[in-house]
Chains A and B, each alone.
Chain A
Amino acid sequence: MLAATSAFFGTDIPTLVAGIVLLFSILLMLVRAIAGPTVWDRILALNAIGTKSVLVVALLGFMTKRPEFLDIALVYAILNFLATIAILKYARTRRLG
């Protein structure tokens, strides 16, 4: 069944499995970001979704045979780090700057 599905989408099996697992984990993180009772749950969910989106972009590069998409993934990683730092600063001190 996996082979038929991967043939249907025109990718190899490892890429397909990686994509499904990534998207499912993004869904789980999204549930935690919506439900998460504490602030820390939500910050962690946001940061994890940022990491997952880096991986999605990298995977997309290999799916479409364009590995130079890795550069874009690197930029996302840096941005994700900056946003997380700002949010954590706010959560700790209740002010920015």
Chain B
Amino acid sequence: MSPTILLDVVLLALVIIAGIAAIEVRNLFAAVMLASVYSLLMACFWTTMDAVDVAYTEAAVGAGISTILLIGALVLTGETEIVRRAVHWPALGACLLVGALLVYGTLDMPKFGDANAPAHVHPVYAGYTQQDVRKDPSGKSHGDIVATENADAQSRAEAHGETTSGRGDYFHGHVPNQVTSVIVTYRALDTLFETAVIFTAGMGLIVLLRGRRGNPLKGGLL
């Protein structure tokens, strides 16, 4: 049994308690506090899942800046919520339907930690694990580095009984900047769609927050 499993279960139980309480409590200041608690506990949970980068972001954005932004919203509005208890059945139905679809989608995913999952056996992955993203400390020329790497890959492939067309086919460390090398070569599609998502979110915000048609500076926040 993994030593962190106890930590995981209890932390997630506490996260659920904090989340339900943040929704149910009518005092909005308490709701902000509970949302912050939720983020802190989620950050701990991400750390137990070895997703340290996500944990950093959760702690900085969720527990840090979100709390301050919500407090800023409290300054502009009031501290208690108007009670409105009616359940909106179509909305509840839509939420349950989408949730059920998402759960149904996860049924097709490979088992957790499966070494034969497509993400691990895809041909690109072999190149990714052998990548050598760094500047050459000896100050050799670009062509020398490519030639050396091609020879390295050739010998490695022969040792494993594989064939290779040479590492020069990929962008292995040939971009002078490490960040560019990772973002623009290995993760190019990833970055493209991330940018598309952020662009869409920005357009949505502008449409939501701008004022009336024809008089954009009145009646809106932008």
Contacts and interface: CB of A to CB of B under 8 A. Distances in A.
Given A79-B59, A79-B60, A42 B30 contact: yes
Contacts of B68: 83, 86, 96
A23 B72 contact: no
A53 B25 CA distance: 23
Nearest to A5: B6
Interface in B40-56: 40-41, 43-44, 47-48, 52, 55-56
Contact of B37 (A49, A86, A87): A49
Nearest to B41: A53
Contacts of A63: 3-4, 7
A2 interface: no
B71 A87 contact: yes
Nearest to A49: B37
Contact of A90 (B4, B6, B60, B75): B75
A75 B60 CA distance: 9
Contacts of A34: 17, 21, 25, 30, 34
Chain B interface mostly: helix
Contact of B17 (A30, A53, A83): A30
B72 A96 contact: yes
Interface string B1-44: 11111110011001001100100010001101110110011011
A88 B2 CA distance: 40
Chain A interface mostly: helix
Nearest to B40: A53
Interface in B122-168: none
A10 B75 contact: no
B4 A27 contact: no
B207 to A, nearest CB: 28
B179 to A, nearest CB: 21
Interface string A20-58: 100100110010011010010011011001100100110
Contact of B33 (A27, A46, A76, A79): A46
Given A42-B29, A72-B52, A80 B71 contact: no
Given A46-B33, A72-B47, A64 B3 contact: yes
Interface of B: 1-7, 10-11, 14, 17-18, 21, 25, 29-30, 32-34, 36-37, 40-41, 43-44, 47-48, 52, 55-56, 59-60, 63-64, 67-68, 71-72, 74-75
5 contacts: A15-B3, A19-B6, A83-B63, A96-B68, A96-B71
